[in-house]
Chains A and B, each alone.
Chain A
Amino acid sequence: MFDRDVLTLLEQGDSRGFDLAYARYAERIFGFLLRLSGSRAVAEDLFQHTFMRLAEVGPRLRVDSDLRAWLFAVARNAFHSYARSACVRSLDMRADVEHFPASQGLGASPDAGLALDELERALARLSESDRELLLLFGVEGLSHAEVAAVLELEQVTVRKRVSRARARLAEALDGDARVVSKSTVSE
Protein backbone atom coordinates (compact mmCIF):
# COMPACT_ATOMS: atom_id res chain seq x y z
CA MET A 1 0.00 0.00 0.00
CA PHE A 2 2.91 2.33 0.81
CA ASP A 3 4.45 1.86 -2.65
CA ARG A 4 1.10 2.46 -4.35
CA ASP A 5 0.59 5.73 -2.44
CA VAL A 6 4.11 6.87 -3.28
CA LEU A 7 3.73 6.03 -6.95
CA THR A 8 0.32 7.71 -7.16
CA LEU A 9 1.81 10.92 -5.73
CA LEU A 10 4.76 10.71 -8.12
CA GLU A 11 2.44 10.18 -11.07
CA GLN A 12 0.74 13.46 -10.16
CA GLY A 13 4.11 15.19 -10.01
CA ASP A 14 3.78 15.58 -6.24
CA SER A 15 7.27 15.61 -4.76
CA ARG A 16 5.90 14.38 -1.40
CA GLY A 17 5.90 10.97 -3.06
CA PHE A 18 9.61 11.31 -3.57
CA ASP A 19 10.09 12.45 0.05
CA LEU A 20 8.26 9.37 1.35
CA ALA A 21 10.26 6.99 -0.82
CA TYR A 22 13.51 8.68 0.15
CA ALA A 23 12.71 8.54 3.86
CA ARG A 24 11.92 4.85 3.72
CA TYR A 25 14.49 3.51 1.28
CA ALA A 26 17.53 5.84 1.27
CA GLU A 27 19.49 4.10 4.04
CA ARG A 28 18.58 0.63 2.79
CA ILE A 29 19.75 1.41 -0.75
CA PHE A 30 22.92 3.07 0.49
CA GLY A 31 23.74 0.14 2.78
CA PHE A 32 23.16 -2.29 -0.07
CA LEU A 33 25.45 -0.30 -2.40
CA LEU A 34 28.14 0.14 0.25
CA ARG A 35 28.22 -3.57 1.08
CA LEU A 36 28.13 -4.48 -2.59
CA SER A 37 30.86 -2.10 -3.76
CA GLY A 38 32.97 -1.94 -0.59
CA SER A 39 33.64 1.74 -1.27
CA ARG A 40 31.83 4.69 0.28
CA ALA A 41 32.67 7.01 -2.63
CA VAL A 42 31.33 4.54 -5.21
CA ALA A 43 28.25 3.85 -3.09
CA GLU A 44 27.51 7.59 -2.87
CA ASP A 45 27.76 8.04 -6.65
CA LEU A 46 25.50 5.07 -7.34
CA PHE A 47 23.07 6.11 -4.60
CA GLN A 48 22.70 9.52 -6.22
CA HIS A 49 22.14 7.91 -9.61
CA THR A 50 19.44 5.62 -8.17
CA PHE A 51 17.39 8.43 -6.65
CA MET A 52 17.81 10.66 -9.70
CA ARG A 53 16.31 7.79 -11.70
CA LEU A 54 13.44 7.60 -9.24
CA ALA A 55 12.72 11.31 -9.71
CA GLU A 56 12.86 11.02 -13.50
CA VAL A 57 11.25 7.64 -14.12
CA GLY A 58 9.09 7.28 -10.98
CA PRO A 59 6.16 9.32 -12.39
CA ARG A 60 5.99 6.92 -15.35
CA LEU A 61 5.99 3.70 -13.29
CA ARG A 62 2.75 1.78 -12.93
CA VAL A 63 1.16 2.46 -9.55
CA ASP A 64 1.07 -1.28 -8.79
CA SER A 65 4.84 -1.65 -9.29
CA ASP A 66 7.01 -3.00 -6.48
CA LEU A 67 8.95 0.19 -5.76
CA ARG A 68 11.40 -1.44 -3.33
CA ALA A 69 12.36 -4.12 -5.86
CA TRP A 70 12.58 -1.48 -8.59
CA LEU A 71 14.97 0.67 -6.53
CA PHE A 72 17.20 -2.28 -5.69
CA ALA A 73 17.22 -3.28 -9.36
CA VAL A 74 18.27 0.24 -10.43
CA ALA A 75 20.98 0.32 -7.74
CA ARG A 76 22.25 -3.14 -8.62
CA ASN A 77 22.31 -2.39 -12.38
CA ALA A 78 24.12 0.89 -11.72
CA PHE A 79 26.73 -1.01 -9.73
CA HIS A 80 27.26 -3.57 -12.50
CA SER A 81 27.58 -0.84 -15.14
CA TYR A 82 30.11 0.90 -12.94
CA ALA A 83 31.99 -2.33 -12.27
CA ARG A 84 32.20 -3.13 -15.97
CA SER A 85 33.49 0.32 -16.88
CA ALA A 86 35.94 0.68 -14.00
CA CYS A 87 36.98 -2.98 -13.70
CA VAL A 88 36.53 -2.75 -9.94
CA ARG A 89 35.96 -6.49 -9.66
CA SER A 90 39.57 -6.90 -8.68
CA LEU A 91 39.29 -4.49 -5.74
CA ASP A 92 39.97 -5.94 -2.33
CA MET A 93 36.58 -5.67 -0.65
CA ARG A 94 38.08 -6.08 2.81
CA ALA A 95 39.71 -2.67 2.53
CA ASP A 96 36.58 -0.68 3.32
CA VAL A 97 34.84 -2.89 5.87
CA GLU A 98 35.52 -0.25 8.51
CA HIS A 99 32.70 1.83 6.95
CA PHE A 100 30.09 -0.55 8.30
CA PRO A 101 28.26 0.26 11.53
CA ALA A 102 29.13 -3.07 13.18
CA SER A 103 32.79 -2.17 12.76
CA GLN A 104 32.18 1.22 14.31
CA GLY A 105 31.10 -0.27 17.61
CA LEU A 106 27.41 0.46 17.10
CA GLY A 107 26.35 -3.08 17.95
CA ALA A 108 24.26 -3.81 21.05
CA SER A 109 27.28 -5.09 23.01
CA PRO A 110 31.00 -5.54 22.27
CA ASP A 111 30.45 -9.27 21.62
CA ALA A 112 27.48 -8.61 19.36
CA GLY A 113 29.43 -5.92 17.55
CA LEU A 114 32.33 -8.33 17.05
CA ALA A 115 30.03 -11.03 15.70
CA LEU A 116 28.46 -8.60 13.24
CA ASP A 117 31.91 -7.39 12.27
CA GLU A 118 32.97 -10.98 11.48
CA LEU A 119 29.81 -11.38 9.44
CA GLU A 120 30.53 -8.19 7.47
CA ARG A 121 34.05 -9.42 6.73
CA ALA A 122 32.88 -12.85 5.66
CA LEU A 123 30.21 -11.28 3.46
CA ALA A 124 32.77 -8.96 1.89
CA ARG A 125 34.96 -11.93 0.92
CA LEU A 126 32.20 -13.72 -0.99
CA SER A 127 31.91 -13.46 -4.75
CA GLU A 128 29.91 -10.51 -6.03
CA SER A 129 26.97 -12.70 -7.09
CA ASP A 130 26.79 -14.50 -3.73
CA ARG A 131 27.08 -11.21 -1.90
CA GLU A 132 24.30 -9.49 -3.81
CA LEU A 133 21.98 -12.47 -3.26
CA LEU A 134 22.60 -12.52 0.48
CA LEU A 135 22.32 -8.75 0.73
CA LEU A 136 18.95 -8.73 -1.01
CA PHE A 137 17.48 -11.84 0.59
CA GLY A 138 19.26 -11.95 3.92
CA VAL A 139 20.06 -8.38 4.91
CA GLU A 140 17.26 -6.48 3.14
CA GLY A 141 14.63 -9.17 3.61
CA LEU A 142 13.32 -9.26 0.04
CA SER A 143 11.24 -12.32 -0.82
CA HIS A 144 12.44 -14.91 -3.34
CA ALA A 145 10.00 -13.40 -5.85
CA GLU A 146 11.37 -9.89 -5.30
CA VAL A 147 14.98 -11.06 -5.57
CA ALA A 148 14.04 -12.87 -8.78
CA ALA A 149 12.58 -9.63 -10.13
CA VAL A 150 15.67 -7.62 -9.17
CA LEU A 151 18.11 -10.14 -10.67
CA GLU A 152 15.86 -11.07 -13.61
CA LEU A 153 16.02 -14.77 -12.73
CA GLU A 154 13.51 -17.56 -12.13
CA GLN A 155 12.42 -17.98 -8.51
CA VAL A 156 13.63 -21.59 -8.51
CA THR A 157 17.07 -20.43 -9.57
CA VAL A 158 17.09 -17.78 -6.85
CA ARG A 159 16.22 -20.40 -4.17
CA LYS A 160 19.08 -22.63 -5.29
CA ARG A 161 21.57 -19.80 -5.50
CA VAL A 162 20.59 -18.39 -2.12
CA SER A 163 21.06 -21.80 -0.57
CA ARG A 164 24.53 -22.15 -2.11
CA ALA A 165 25.50 -18.61 -1.13
CA ARG A 166 24.42 -19.27 2.48
CA ALA A 167 26.58 -22.39 2.53
CA ARG A 168 29.59 -20.45 1.26
CA LEU A 169 29.01 -17.73 3.86
CA ALA A 170 28.90 -20.37 6.59
CA GLU A 171 32.19 -21.80 5.26
CA ALA A 172 33.76 -18.35 5.27
CA LEU A 173 32.70 -17.82 8.89
CA ASP A 174 34.03 -21.27 9.87
CA GLY A 175 37.33 -20.40 8.21
CA ASP A 176 37.53 -17.19 10.24
CA ALA A 177 36.78 -19.07 13.46
CA ARG A 178 39.56 -21.60 12.74
CA VAL A 179 42.07 -18.82 12.05
CA VAL A 180 41.13 -17.06 15.30
CA SER A 181 41.36 -20.26 17.38
CA LYS A 182 44.75 -21.15 15.83
CA SER A 183 46.16 -17.72 16.61
CA THR A 184 44.78 -17.93 20.18
CA VAL A 185 46.45 -21.35 20.71
CA SER A 186 49.80 -20.13 19.31
CA GLU A 187 49.72 -17.21 21.79
Chain B
Amino acid sequence: MTEVDELLARLRKLPAVALDSEFEALVHARARRRVRRRQAPFAPLAALALAVTVVLYLGWALHFTSALYR
Protein backbone atom coordinates (compact mmCIF):
# COMPACT_ATOMS: atom_id res chain seq x y z
CA MET B 1 0.00 0.00 0.00
CA THR B 2 1.40 3.44 -0.85
CA GLU B 3 1.67 6.28 1.60
CA VAL B 4 -1.19 8.10 -0.13
CA ASP B 5 -3.49 5.07 0.13
CA GLU B 6 -2.67 4.67 3.81
CA LEU B 7 -3.53 8.28 4.37
CA LEU B 8 -6.85 7.87 2.59
CA ALA B 9 -7.60 4.78 4.66
CA ARG B 10 -6.88 6.75 7.83
CA LEU B 11 -9.20 9.54 6.72
CA ARG B 12 -11.97 6.97 6.13
CA LYS B 13 -11.54 5.80 9.72
CA LEU B 14 -12.39 9.20 11.18
CA PRO B 15 -15.59 8.57 13.11
CA ALA B 16 -18.92 10.28 12.57
CA VAL B 17 -19.63 13.14 14.95
CA ALA B 18 -22.65 12.65 17.19
CA LEU B 19 -25.27 15.35 17.31
CA ASP B 20 -26.73 16.53 20.58
CA SER B 21 -29.86 14.34 20.80
CA GLU B 22 -32.17 17.17 21.88
CA PHE B 23 -30.98 19.40 19.05
CA GLU B 24 -31.25 16.53 16.57
CA ALA B 25 -34.85 15.79 17.57
CA LEU B 26 -35.77 19.49 17.41
CA VAL B 27 -34.38 19.99 13.89
CA HIS B 28 -35.94 16.73 12.73
CA ALA B 29 -39.40 17.68 13.97
CA ARG B 30 -39.18 21.25 12.69
CA ALA B 31 -37.99 20.30 9.21
CA ARG B 32 -40.36 17.32 8.94
CA ARG B 33 -43.36 19.61 9.33
CA ARG B 34 -42.26 21.52 6.23
CA VAL B 35 -42.43 18.57 3.86
CA ARG B 36 -45.22 19.19 1.35
CA ARG B 37 -46.43 17.28 -1.67
CA ARG B 38 -45.07 18.70 -4.91
CA GLN B 39 -47.66 21.02 -6.48
CA ALA B 40 -48.94 20.00 -9.89
CA PRO B 41 -47.19 22.30 -12.36
CA PHE B 42 -49.50 25.12 -13.49
CA ALA B 43 -48.12 25.74 -17.00
CA PRO B 44 -49.33 22.52 -18.76
CA LEU B 45 -52.85 22.97 -17.37
CA ALA B 46 -52.95 26.59 -18.50
CA ALA B 47 -51.74 25.62 -21.99
CA LEU B 48 -54.42 22.93 -22.25
CA ALA B 49 -57.16 25.34 -21.16
CA LEU B 50 -55.97 27.87 -23.76
CA ALA B 51 -55.96 25.26 -26.54
CA VAL B 52 -59.50 24.12 -25.67
CA THR B 53 -60.70 27.74 -25.67
CA VAL B 54 -59.16 28.38 -29.11
CA VAL B 55 -60.70 25.22 -30.60
CA LEU B 56 -64.12 26.09 -29.19
CA TYR B 57 -63.87 29.63 -30.54
CA LEU B 58 -62.82 28.46 -34.02
CA GLY B 59 -65.66 25.91 -34.03
CA TRP B 60 -68.15 28.56 -33.08
CA ALA B 61 -66.73 30.96 -35.76
CA LEU B 62 -66.99 28.27 -38.46
CA HIS B 63 -70.54 27.45 -37.44
CA PHE B 64 -71.52 31.15 -37.40
CA THR B 65 -69.93 31.82 -40.83
CA SER B 66 -71.55 28.80 -42.48
CA ALA B 67 -74.93 29.91 -41.04
CA LEU B 68 -74.60 33.25 -42.92
CA TYR B 69 -74.54 31.51 -46.31
CA ARG B 70 -77.41 29.15 -45.67
Shortest CB-to-CB span from B53 to chain A, Å, is: 29
Contact A55–B11 (Cβ < 8 Å): no
* Contact B17–A31 (Cβ < 8 Å): yes
5 interchain pairs, CB-CB under 8 A: A11-B37, A27-B17, A101-B16, A166-B8, A167-B4
What is the CA–CA distance of A169 and B14 in the complex, to the nearest angstrom? Answer: 14
> Are B3 and A116 in contact, with the CB atoms below 8 A?
no
From A27, A60, A166, give the contact of B18 (CB < 8 A): A27
Asked if B70 is at the interface (CB within 8 A of a chain A CB), the reply is: no
Q: Does B63 belong to the interface (CB within 8 Å)?
A: no
On whether the beta carbons of A99 and B7 are closer than 8 Å, the reply is no
Which of B23-31, B43-51, B54-62 interfaces with chain A? B23-31
Q: Which 6 A-B pairs have the closest CB atoms?
A: A13-B37, A138-B11, A55-B34, A31-B17, A27-B16, A55-B31
How many residue pairs link A and B with beta carbons under 8 A? The number is: 102
- Determine if A170 and B3 form an interchain contact, defined as CB atoms under 8 angstroms apart: yes
Does B17 lie within 8 Å of A13, measured CB to CB?
no
At the interface, is chain A mostly helix, strand, loop or mixed?
Answer: helix
A14 nearest CB across to chain B (Å):
8
**8 Å CB contact of B12 from A48, A60, A141, A170:** A141
Contact B14 A116 (CB under 8 A): yes
Q: Select one of A19, A47, A60 contacting B27, CB under 8 A.
A: A47
Q: Which residues of A contact B38 (CB under 8 A)?
A: 11-13, 59-60
The answer to whether A134 has its CB under 8 Å from any CB of chain B is yes
For residue B34, which residues in chain A have a CB less than 8 angstroms away from its CB?
52, 55-56
- CB within 8 Å of B: which A47-95 residues: 47-48, 51-52, 54-56, 58-60
Q: Is A146 part of the contact surface with B, judged by Cβ < 8 Å?
A: no
Q: Which residue of A lies closest to B6 (CB)?
A: A170
Bound Cα distance from A139 to B16, whole angstroms: 9
Contact present for B7 and A166 (CB under 8 Å) = yes
Residue of A27, A44, A134, A141 near B23 (CB, 8 A) is A44
From A34, A35, A58, A170, give the contact of B4 (CB < 8 A).
Answer: A170
The answer to the question of B67 belonging to the interface, with a C-beta cut-off of 8 Å to chain A, is no
Give residues 121-175 of A contacting B (CB, 8 Å). Answer: 123, 134, 138-139, 141, 163, 166-167, 169-170, 173
Nearest CB of A to B41, in Å: 10
